[in-house]
Amino acid sequence: MKSLFVIVLIGTVWTGCAGVSGYYNVDAYNSSGELLTKNVRFTADGSSIYTTVNGMCSAYPKSVVIVRDTKTGEQLKGVSPHQCR
């Protein structure tokens, strides 16, 4: 039973990563809602979104990272908003 759970979990994660496509703007905000990435525009595509979010969290600990579709402006569900540790 435990191995079945692991297989389902891996399949779900893999499908989620494979399903992300398009271009996204990635911004970091502090706890007051102030944009921390004022002078730089970060754009990610496809599965590189996760790497970009992790990089933002390394650069701006405790920030909130917002991932928005470049065309629609909508947040990417399941990824945004992301609270960094």
In a domain, 44, yes or no: yes
Phi then psi dihedrals of residue 61, to 5 deg: -60, 145
Write out the residue range of the structural domain in which residue 45 sits: 21-83
Tokens 């525009």 -> residue: 41
C-alpha 35/C-alpha 85 separation (Å) is 17
In a domain, 9, yes or no: no
In total, how many domains does the chain have? 1
Q: Which residues pair with 24 in a beta bridge?
A: 44, 69
In a domain, 43, yes or no: yes
In a domain, 16, yes or no: no
C-alpha 70/C-alpha 66 separation (Å) is 12
Residues 5-56: pLDDT tens digits? Answer: 434 444 444 445 556 889 999 999 999 999 998 888 899 998 899 999 999 9
In a domain, 3, yes or no: no
pTM score of the predicted model: 0.73
